[in-house]
Structure 1
Amino acid sequence: MENPSTIILVVALLWVSVVAATRTKLQSIENVDGGICKSMLETQGYTCQEHKVTTEDGYIIGLQRIPKGRSGDETPNKKPVLLQHGLLMDASAWLLNPPDQALAFILADNGFDVWLANTRATKSSRGHTSLTPNDPAYWDWSWDELAAYDLPALFKYVNNQTGQNLHYVGHSLGTLTALAAFSQEKLLNLLRSAALLAPIAYLGQMSSLFIRILMDLFLSETQELVEFICKTPGVDCSDLLATITGPNCCLSSASKAALFKNFPQSTATKNMIHLSQMVRMGTLEMYNYGNEDTNMEHYKQPTPPVYNMANIPKDVPLFLSYGGRDALSDVNDVGLLLDNVKDHDKDKLVVEYIEDYAHMDFIMSANANQLVYDPLLAFFKLH
């Protein structure tokens, strides 16, 4: 079987422009300042709480809570908001810009009770009730499990802590897991509304040539693979962030520097294989084990079950914001998603298209506060 760290390493190396021969399966991203609360929230004048949530399959998920804004507003019954980051990132993704530009800060300062999730195996979520990251079984999951176990556990925990249903914000992979759960009518009894930024349901028309080549080749010596892809016609490795995600319009050098302090975070090889199946086959289905017998063992059918986006109830309040330059959440793939929800209740669906935005603009752009977050806040206040 392939080295469990290979795909994590390749993507990480491409992004940060570092070529290395080997790394361990568990990426070691150490924050010398003592974690997200201390290094990224309290330093900006915000109160921060650390919480732990245990999933049904035993993973211990870290949550950071911002219970109030800088004004110290103690308004009772604040509406909770759960923020879920994308692939190879953690909750710091929502805190890369100054308080007037970063969504988590903006939500807190606008009277919301903000909860920041960290996907299993990231620095804040490395615990398990019986396994350690050195156990192969610890890594036996894909985004199927994030939708089936992590999100339900997080929703229930926030609901129990606050006594209220919650708003949800996902970016990239955080939209895919939510959409998958919604299509199975999970989470909906605890949900007020969902905002999906750079939404991913389908990946078959992804325009990032870099990632398409990566998914096709899939395995190789890391250095050779990087060099090979960078020499491919049409691939420009002079700006790897833009090459992978699309030409982001409005990222500051400070926000990029903040990103690379916490990137890449760990994920499972199985998760990357699952995503590569979506890219190569254009499917939106559960993990494919590669042969009918093994699929039968897991699913009692020879092919993986499909996540049908048309099954998302028509009255679920959805806010979708996508970009014209996004090389990962391609406009054509988003079009497939929108076609599946075309019969959604008109007063429950807001679709926002920003022509100049690429994938990272939605969480890092200096003007996202006006273009994305202002309408998002208005949407939340309606629901």
Structure 2
Amino acid sequence: MTNSLVSIILVVVFCGLAAGTRTTLFLTEAQDAVSAVADDGICKSMVETQGYFCEEHMVTTRDGYILSIQRIPVGQSGKTSGKRAPVLLQHGLLMDGITWLLSPPDQSLALLLADNGFDAYWDWTWDELVDYDLPAIFQYVHDQTGQKLHYVGHSLGTLIALASFSKGQLVDMLRSAALLSPIAYVGQVTSPLARNAADSLLAEALYWLGINEFNPRGKAVIELLKHICQKAGVDCTNMLTSFTGQNCCLNSTIVTVFLEHEPQSTSTKNMIHISQMIREGTIRMYDYKDEDENRKHYGQPTPPAYNMKSIPNDLSLFLSYGGADALSDVNDVQLLLDNLKDHDGDKLVVQYIENYAHADYVMGVNARQAVYDPLMAFFKLQ
């Protein structure tokens, strides 16, 4: 693979989509969502405006939902010769596919990959990602390209990948995976906003009120966040910093673009699940907090755990984490690395960037030099 051109697939999940969310195939609104994505999706608003060709695709999961994904098949030069290895990009919580397009073209990972001989896709959703969405997307990309693919995940995009790999899923279609700000264990997050939201049962409160969509811009969430921000030790004057940690390398222009498009919605149930992980320090499936309900879903009184030690030792992994990251805390990352201690030495590359926080990985002005160039070099060796 070293001498051949490589194609990139970008996937984004755990958030709302420009034309809706994880849309059920059997509702009339689904067709409206499909049309809206084609007319006003990320391709037209963020990719084609930069002079890149972009394709809109639809993937149907086996539980009957439509996922929208975008593909950047070639770089700005338009050259299509050679075999381009696919790369899948997966964003994190409360984000969407624009994650990979926030920076200028010569610094955005999606466009960099296309310019460097990769073939790119991404998708966004939040529910049943491990069991339904990610397998459907992997299979679709594999079928379209006829090749195994590389994967890039940021934040919760790493969690769904790790959970899938631990169950032996997707690995037969995978060439390698890059995990940026890896999320597996989150029991030691230092983000005062995330910690207090979890401890205050913020998501549970919304769920009890019958609010199934966690909309960060919605009135109910804003009111609850105001309450949390009044607590001692929680400084919300800079919401991004209080959530992600002190990012070293953002500029005001990129942050402005970010705020124009993000954050996006996710499901309230998804936020409850993440809160459970923060409070309990575990990597388990969703806990219904009722033994009978858990038995109904899992056949046992407690939710099953994902075993990180079950990740195949010969799976090629590139893992990068930051010393200032308040969500992917260094101590939690170390727990993950402890579980990977028997991984084949030549199949695991670990990068530590002392001054990087959570958002630097997708918006940092030096992310290309610090992270993306080493990441692409890693891919080309696989």
Q: TM-score range by the shorter chain?
A: 0.7 to 0.9
Q: Does 1:38 align with 2:36?
A: no
Partner deviation per Cα, 1:97-142 (whole Å, 9 max, x = no partner): 011111001100000011122225xxxxxxxxxxxxxxxxxxxx4x
Please give the secondary structure, in 1, of the residue aligned with 2:266.
Answer: coil
Flag structure 1 segments of 5+ consecutive residues without an equivalent. Answer: 1-7, 9-27, 121-140
Distance 1:235 1:149 in 2: 37
Distance 2:344 2:161 in 1: 19
Q: Which residue of 2 aligns with 1:313?
A: 312
Please give the secondary structure, in 1, of the residue aligned with 2:350.
Answer: strand
Distance 1:84 1:223 in 2: 27
Q: Which residue of 2 aligns with 1:20?
A: none
Partner deviation per Cα, 1:158-210 (whole Å, 9 max, x = no partner): 01101101000000110000000000000000000000000000110010111
Are the structure 2 counterparts of residues 370 and 223 from structure 1 closer, same or farther at C-alpha, using a change threshold of 3 Å?
closer
Please give the secondary structure, in 1, of the residue aligned with 2:87.
Answer: strand
Distance 1:47 1:312 in 2: 36
1:264 positional shift: 2.5
Aligned partner (choices 90, 105, 112) of residue 106 of structure 1: 112
Q: Does 1:72 align with 2:71?
A: no
Q: 1:1-383 to 2 correspondence within 5 Å? A: 34-120=40-126, 141=127, 145-219=128-202, 222=221, 225-383=224-382
In terms of mean alpha carbon deviation, does 211-220 or 243-252 score higher?
211-220
1:227 positional shift: 3.2
Distance 1:47 1:75 in 2: 15
Distance 1:158 1:222 in 2: 36
Distance 1:44 1:298 in 2: 46
Distance 2:75 2:67 in 1: 24
1:276 positional shift: 0.5
Distance 1:43 1:222 in 2: 33
1:334 positional shift: 0.5
Distance 2:239 2:259 in 1: 13
1:224 positional shift: 5.0
Distance 1:48 1:183 in 2: 33
Distance 1:377 1:245 in 2: 25
* Pairs aligned (count): 334
Residue type of the alignment partner of 2:84? K
Residue type of the alignment partner of 2:241? A
Flag structure 2 segments of 5+ consecutive residues without an equivalent. Answer: 1-14, 16-32, 206-219
Q: Which residue of 1 aligns with 2:19?
A: none
Distance 2:81 2:125 in 1: 30
Distance 2:295 2:107 in 1: 48
Distance 1:227 1:99 in 2: 36
Query: How large is the RMSD of aligned CA atoms in angstroms?
Result: 1.9
Distance 2:93 2:42 in 1: 18
1:76 positional shift: 2.9
Please give the secondary structure, in 2, of the residue aligned with 1:186.
Answer: coil
Distance 2:167 2:342 in 1: 17
Are the structure 2 counterparts of residues 98 and 233 from structure 1 closer, same or farther at C-alpha, using a change threshold of 3 Å?
same
Residue type of the alignment partner of 1:192? R
Please give the secondary structure, in 2, of the residue aligned with 1:307.
Answer: coil
In terms of mean alpha carbon deviation, does 300-309 or 70-79 score higher?
70-79
Distance 2:100 2:222 in 1: 31
Please give the secondary structure, in 2, of the residue aligned with 1:116.
Answer: strand
Residue type of the alignment partner of 2:62? E
Partner deviation per Cα, 1:326-364 (whole Å, 9 max, x = no partner): 111111111100000011001100000001000010011
Residue type of the alignment partner of 2:254? S
State TM-score, norm by structure 1: 0.84
Distance 2:334 2:51 in 1: 41
Partner deviation per Cα, 1:287-325 (whole Å, 9 max, x = no partner): 111011111111111111110000000000000000001
Residue type of the alignment partner of 2:228? I
Please give the secondary structure, in 2, of the residue aligned with 1:376.
Answer: helix
Distance 1:63 1:276 in 2: 28
State TM-score, norm by structure 2: 0.84
Q: Which residue of 2 aligns with 1:131?
A: none
Distance 1:104 1:170 in 2: 12
Identity of aligned residues (%): 62
Residue type of the alignment partner of 1:307? Y
Distance 2:68 2:137 in 1: 10
1:270 positional shift: 0.9
Please give the secondary structure, in 1, of the residue aligned with 2:176.
Answer: strand
Distance 2:91 2:350 in 1: 20
